Structure formats: structure tokens, C-alpha cells
Amino acid sequence: MSLTTRAARTEDIAALVALAKAAHAGGSPTALPLLGDAVARGLVRVAEVDGEVAGYVAVEKPLPNHVRIASVAVRHERRRQGIGTMLIGEVLQEAGKIEAVGGTVATVIDVTDLEVAGLLLSCGFIATRVMRSSTPEQAMQLYYQHKIKVEYVDPDARHLVPLSRPDQLVESLSPSDHAVTALATLSSEPAFEISRFEQDDPASLQSGEAAAGIAFSGSILAAITFLLGFSFVSSRYPDDVRLLLIGATFATTMSLIIYASASGELARIRSNSFGRVMKWGNVLSEYGGVLPFLVSLPITYAQGPGVRWSAVVVGVVSSTALVLYERSQFSIAHRFRWTRTTVALTAFTSMAPTVCVVMLAAGITSWPLTAALAMALTGRTLVYLYRRGPEAGVSEFRRTWQIRR
């Protein structure tokens, strides 16, 4: 089977309308006559199997930050072959930039259109509210919205509502924190699983994040200033590393000021700039304070009498730990897409402790390495502050709603 997708063409319109009617496609019946206009505007994609149209998806863009799936259908004999999932996935991929800045991807389908409902639920949509039909002949409809933010479901607050009980469905979806999250079979009858999502308090969460940032940067600043004081009383401590620690002290102090500014933003939470402010604090704290401090630790150990070559072992261990940290989910680098430039800068930063103690043990001046390290850390700081967007949201493989355990 050869499955491909492409933009719909004018000659496809008749086949698409027939397919929509035969498949009882999602979206209101009034959307069908608009297929011709949607094709002309490039808002319809079709899936072909061995050269034959097997399905399509049509979207609308009523607002710059809103994408609405107007209609989706798959030929009956081609269902359960991943065609619908592929078409919805392409819509979500195109709408990714809109969702990243707070946009919405949604659709409205009849409550009885269970096949489309199952497709949407499997693609990360949830039904959040009931839409009353304007005409008596139309069935009750559900509003499905694609989720991009990770939220948690209360495992003790889920129940099933049979399709034959629309009154109960309306009542269950009345609270704003309830939504349809799955389809089930209850006594040989289709049923909707209704789940309650835990509600977060943004002000409390942001207040806790700012407090944690201040406490962490304060601790790092205390450790750096202690190490800096030790470097001034040691006549053998490299001057270039002293300068690196002075720079780390300055950067960490700035991160503390920024975290304090983020705390002030909580009083003006509607300004919506808390995340951008915290990004500056996080980047300066890690690349201006934490990493220079960790690189300097093996150098400090190397100042002891007769331990220069054993310091090489400490340097290797430190470099290995930095590599593992950089590749873990806890580092700032993990929150952004990797490029060749960032990989090279990360590798150089991670190897710096080993190279530096080797140079000290061999009696080689470390000025060039320290200067290169400072440039690498500055480069990484600038990349994440100016060349990248906000810190990443949810990874593609991660489900955007989970059960709290």
C-alpha cells in the first residue's frame, strides 16, 4: 500500500463532498458546501492510497491564533490504517507555531460521531464542552480542543456516561475542569469517559519557582565567593581562573537580581512576562555561575601539594559528570532543540575540567583555554537568550494529560 498526502485540487471537490457525506464526516453539515472555497484557499489536504483519494481534512482559520478542523473523513474500507491520524498529525504540525504562542486547534462534531471522536482523542484532543445545536434536526455537538500543556487527571474523579444519556453528559461537562478523555463500552453501549483535571494556581506555582531560583542562586553565589576567596590566598592559583570566578560572581549576582524582578512580576501577573524573566535568570545562573564553578573545582583541588596528577582523575570524573548532566532532562540545553553549534559548545564546556588540570599538571599556561571557555559559555548564553524562543513545552512523545499517581 502506497500512502501519500497532498494539497487538494479543484478536480477533487466532487469526490471530497461525496466522501464527506458517505463517511458522516466531522463538522456541521453547513461546512460541506464550503469545501470548494477551502480547496481554493489551500486549506484542504487529501490522503491517497495507490493513487486513489482515501481521506481528507479541511481546516478553517477564523482568527490568526485559531485553527478549526471543519471536516475530516476517511473512506470506509480504508479506516483503521492510520490515514486519519496522519491527516490530523499534519494539521497539528502546521499549527505548531500557532499553539506555541498560545493559539488553539479545535473542532466541533456531533456527539454521535464516535469514529471521529476516537480519532481526535487518540491525537491528543479532549472534549471540553457541549455545543447546543441551532436547529432541532441536528444532534448535540461536542467541542474538542487539542491540548499542548501537561495537566494531571484526578484518578478518583472519573466516571462513564452512556451515549443514551445526553442530559447526564451536559451536566458532567458543566464544570470547567471536566472533559471527555476517552471512549468506552458500557453494557454494550458506547460511553464517554469524563475526567476531572486538577486546577493549578499560576501565582502559587510562579511564586514557588521564583523562590527556588533565588535560594539556588544564593547558594551558588556563596560557594563561588568562598572559592574566590581561597584563590586570592593561594599564590599558585592561576590568575585566569580567578578572573573566571569573578565573572561567575557577577553573573550569579545578576541572576539573583533577575529572580527578584521575576518575584515582582507576580504582583503584575497579567503582564505575562514572568516566563521570559525567569529564562534570563535560569540561563545566567547555569552558564554564568554553575558551570564556571564546577570547572574550577578540579583546579582548586590541583593546588594541593603532590596532587596534581591525581587531580587529572578528578578532572575526568568532573567532565564525565558534566556530559551526563548536559544530556539529561535537567539541563537547560535539554529544553531546546540541539544544533551542531550547541553540541560543539557543550562538548568543549564539558571537557574543560579535564583539559585544564592536564595543562596545570604539565606546567602549560591555561590562559588560552580559560579565554576559550569564557567565550563558549558566553556563546551558549547568547544562543539561549536571543537565538531561541521560550523554553520548550511538551516533547512530541509525551502525553499532554496524565493520571496523578
Read off the pTM: 0.64
Q: How far from 81 is each of 5, 91, 94, 304, 387, CA to CA, in Å? A: 14, 18, 22, 67, 40
Which DSSP string do the residues of 117-182 spell out, in sequence order?
Answer: HHHHHHTTEEEEEEE--SSTTSPPEEEEEE--S-EEEEEEEEEEEETT-HHHHHHHT-STTEEEEE
The DSSP code for 387 is I
Whether the per-residue pLDDT at 302 is higher than 90: the answer is no
The DSSP code for 50 is T
Residue 67 pLDDT: 92
Q: How far from 321 is each of 243, 300, 345, CA to CA, in Å? A: 24, 17, 16
What number is the average pLDDT over the span 133-156? 78
Band the pLDDT of 394: cuts 50, 70, 90. very low
What number is the average pLDDT over the span 245-261? 91
Whether the per-residue pLDDT at 272 is higher than 70: the answer is no
Whether the per-residue pLDDT at 123 is higher than 60: the answer is yes
Band the pLDDT of 136: cuts 50, 70, 90. low
| Angle CA 77–78–84, to nearest 5 | 140
Structure-block grid coordinates of residue 349: 564546556
Residue 401 pLDDT: 65
Residue 392 pLDDT: 45
For 401, counting Cβ atoms within 10 Å of its Cβ (0-12 exposed, 13-18 middle, 19+ buried), the class is: middle
Band the pLDDT of 389: cuts 50, 70, 90. low
Three-state DSSP at 80 gives coil
Structure-block grid coordinates of residue 100: 506555541
Structure-block grid coordinates of residue 54: 482515501
Structure confidence by residue, pLDDT tens digits, 88-118: 999 998 888 888 777 899 999 889 889 899 9
48/8 Cα distance (integer angstroms): 11
Residue 30 pLDDT: 42
Percent share of the chain, pLDDT over 70: 86
What number is the average pLDDT over the span 25-40? 60
Residue 253 pLDDT: 94
Band the pLDDT of 29: cuts 50, 70, 90. very low
Whether the per-residue pLDDT at 397 is higher than 50: the answer is no
Whether the per-residue pLDDT at 43 is higher than 70: the answer is yes
Residues 6+ apart with CB under 8 A from 101: 65
